[in-house]
Structure formats: C-alpha cells, structure tokens
Chains A and B, each alone.
Chain A
Amino acid sequence: MFRRGIRLGLPYGAVSGVLSLSFGVLAVQAGFTTLQAIVTSALVFGGSAQFAALTIVSAGGAIPAALTAATLMHSRFLAMGIAFAPSLPGGPLRRAVEGQAVVDASWALANKGDGTFDRMLLFGTTIPQYVAWLAGTIVGALAGDLLGDVERYGLDALFPTFFVGILLAELGRPRARVAAALGAVLALALVPFTAPGVPVLVAAAAALIGLGVAPDAPDAGAPEQEPA
C-alpha cells in the first residue's frame, strides 16, 4: 500500500515541484533569504498557507495579517485531521506526528469512503509531494537570486491559476459558489480602504454562510487538487 501510494503521489509531486519553484522565486523576491525560503517549505509544507502569507507580505502587509491569512487557509487541516484520527493507532503524540503527513491530495486518495483512511497509502502519497515541494523550492530560491525580475517570466501568474484550479473543484456545491463570490467581492471592495492583507482576512467572514450546514459528506469540500 505504501508503494502504491508513492506511485499515486507522483503526478501530484510534479505539480508540487512547479508550484514550489514559483514559491521559491517569489519568496526571494519578497525579501526572504534563500535559506528562509527553503526552511519555510521544509517545515510549513502547505502550499496555500505559504502563498497566502507570501501574497500579503509581498503586497506590503504586516506579520499578523500574513499569519492570520495562512492560519485560515490551513484551518481545513483541522477538519481533515479530525476525520483521519480514528485511522491512526498509538498514543496522542504518535498520532500527532503521523498527522503531519496529511496534505490535500493524499488525504483525498487515502479516503476509503466509509469514514476510514488507509494510513500507509496516505504516507506513501505524501512522500513524492514532499520531496518535490522541497526540491522545487530549493531550485526556485537559488534561481530567484540569479533571475532578477521574475515578473518577466510570468511566474506570478502560476499560483493564482493553481488556486483557480482548486477553487473550481470546490464549486460543485451551490453554497461554495456563494462563499467564493462573496469572498472575492468583499476582498476587492476593501482594497482601497485597508492595509494590504486585511481584505483577504475579512473575506474569510464569507465562510459564515456555512453556519449550521453540515458538509454533504465528511469534508466533501476538501480540495483534491492542491499539491501540497
């Protein structure tokens, strides 16, 4: 199962590699040192959270705004971890350590559909994604120093496009479409009036339309395409 997981994870690894390459380049452009960009990917290992923080910092936002946006983006792992928990053996500490392996694609692929997860498959699927995520960041962070102005290469168009990809996978449910539209409108409306980063945070309030509504399936909304 572990090997099957590694095989299943390979295409997601390829996507992770490209995405993290752009993270490495953009992080260095935003003022991270090469080492800082690499450490971030090695230890945070969460594409949407890393890009959320980076977007806000690049736009001139402050640390609390960047951290809050990243936390909100990462909050889905709380729900995914809770769903995964019964499939993990051992004590709390071991379960907490094994829980670190959860990323979107692995979680979705390891979900057996009956409320349980194949944990070895999940670990296997995560490995190529982690390796590619780290390798891509290293290449990007090193190249970012050499490339100069990355905007010339259009790399700033990469992660919004990936986000659109994940977003489209979410929009199957009508309520998610309302949340997305509301989030985008709220954020854009606030741009001229607030510090950078604040619009995205306030847009999270759009998620309140999910109040009192159970997801269709255990976390049916978990994005399946996010590479890291």
Chain B
Amino acid sequence: MRLSEGQVWVLIIALVTMATLMKAAGPAIVGGRELPRWATGVIAMMAPALLAALVATAVFSDEQRYTVGADTVGVAAGALLLVCRVPLVLSAAVAVGLTALLRAFF
C-alpha cells in the first residue's frame, strides 16, 4: 500500500505540528521546573528502545516477512566498524558500498 499525494501532505502537516510543539513545549510552558522522575527515566530509555527496534525491523524485515539481504550484510559490517570505533561517516560509507557491491554481483 502506498500513500497518495494528498495523504502524504496530511502526514507532513501532522509531523510539522508535532515537531514544532515538541520543541516549543519545554521552553514555553515548563520553564525551569523539572519533570517527575518517572517521566525522565522513561524518556531517557525511549531512544535506545526505538532505535534498536527501527534498526532491527529495517534490516531484518519487509512488510510482514523476515528477510536477510545485501543491506543486512552492509549494515552489520558498518555496525561492526562502529563498535571498533571507526568514525561514523566512514562506517556508513562501508555499509553503503558493501550493500551496493553485493547487489551488483548477486
């Protein structure tokens, strides 16, 4: 299923509204007050949970199927380089290059 042009505009308007309010809320309303502890703890864990889920689904699935492809290998290589403290830009270049190379030959 692919979104129509009109549906994409709806999504964009919603995203812009959300993004603007999210960044405005703290400075405008909350001022110097602190969030309750339970909230800061959950917000701090939101990024790792979501990032891991996004990477896992982007690399290992397509719609409702599990897939392993050239991009799986490329991202895995990039991730390995990152773990070995290779700079981000270089690791990403290797991931992209390896993926393209594998697709060219298989």
Q: Do A and B bind each other?
A: yes
Q: Which A residues lie at the B interface, using CB under 8 A?
A: 14-15, 18, 30-33, 36, 39-40, 43-46, 48-53, 55, 57, 59-60, 62-63, 66-67, 69-86, 88, 92-93, 95-100, 102, 151-168, 170-171, 175-177, 179-184, 186-188, 191-194, 196, 199-200, 203-215, 219-223, 225
Residues of B within 8 A of A157 (CB): 70-71, 74-75, 78, 95-96, 98-99
Closest 5 CB pairs of A and B: A81-B26, A154-B99, A203-B53, A210-B45, A154-B100
Known contacts A15-B88, A39-B12, A154-B99; is A95 also within 8 Å of B27 by CB?
A: yes
- B68 interface contact, C-beta 8 A: no
B55 touches which of A67, A83, A160, A194 (Cβ 8 Å): A160
Residues of A within 8 A of B45 (CB): 175-176, 179, 206-210, 221
Q: Which B residues lie at the A interface, using CB under 8 A?
A: 1-5, 7-12, 14-16, 18-20, 22-35, 37-38, 40-66, 70-71, 74-75, 78-79, 82-83, 88-89, 91-92, 95-101, 103-104
Shortest CB-to-CB span from B59 to chain A, Å, is 5
Tell me if B27 and A52 are in contact (CB < 8 A).
no
Shortest CB-to-CB span from A142 to chain B, Å, is 17
Tell me if A96 and B27 are in contact (CB < 8 A).
yes
Tell me if B28 and A99 are in contact (CB < 8 A).
yes
B78 touches which of A55, A57, A164 (Cβ 8 Å): A164
Tell me if B103 and A151 are in contact (CB < 8 A).
yes
Residue from the set B4, B22, B41, B64 with the largest chain A CB neighbour count within 10 Å: B22
User: Which residue of A is nearest B94, CB measured?
Assistant: A161
Tell me if A63 and B96 are in contact (CB < 8 A).
no
User: Which residue of B is nearest A85, CB measured?
Assistant: B27
Residues of B within 8 A of A186 (CB): 53
A-B contact pairs, 30 of them (CB 8 A): A30-B3, A31-B3, A40-B12, A53-B15, A57-B3, A59-B61, A76-B43, A77-B22, A78-B43, A79-B44, A81-B30, A84-B27, A93-B28, A99-B24, A154-B97, A157-B71, A157-B96, A157-B99, A158-B92, A160-B54, A160-B78, A161-B82, A164-B79, A171-B48, A191-B57, A191-B66, A196-B64, A203-B52, A213-B41, A215-B41
Tell me if B15 and A200 are in contact (CB < 8 A).
no
Residues of B within 8 A of A177 (CB): 48
User: Which residue of B is nearest A40, CB measured?
Assistant: B12
Residues of B within 8 A of A79 (CB): 26, 35, 40, 43-44
Residues of A within 8 A of B48 (CB): 167, 170-171, 176-177, 179-180, 183, 207, 221
Distance, CA A88 to CA B71, complexed state (A): 43
Distance, CA A43 to CA B62, complexed state (A): 29
Tell me if B99 and A156 are in contact (CB < 8 A).
yes
User: Which residue of A is nearest B104, CB measured?
Assistant: A152
Tell me if B16 and A92 are in contact (CB < 8 A).
no
Shortest CB-to-CB span from A30 to chain B, Å, is 8
Tell me if B19 and A18 are in contact (CB < 8 A).
no
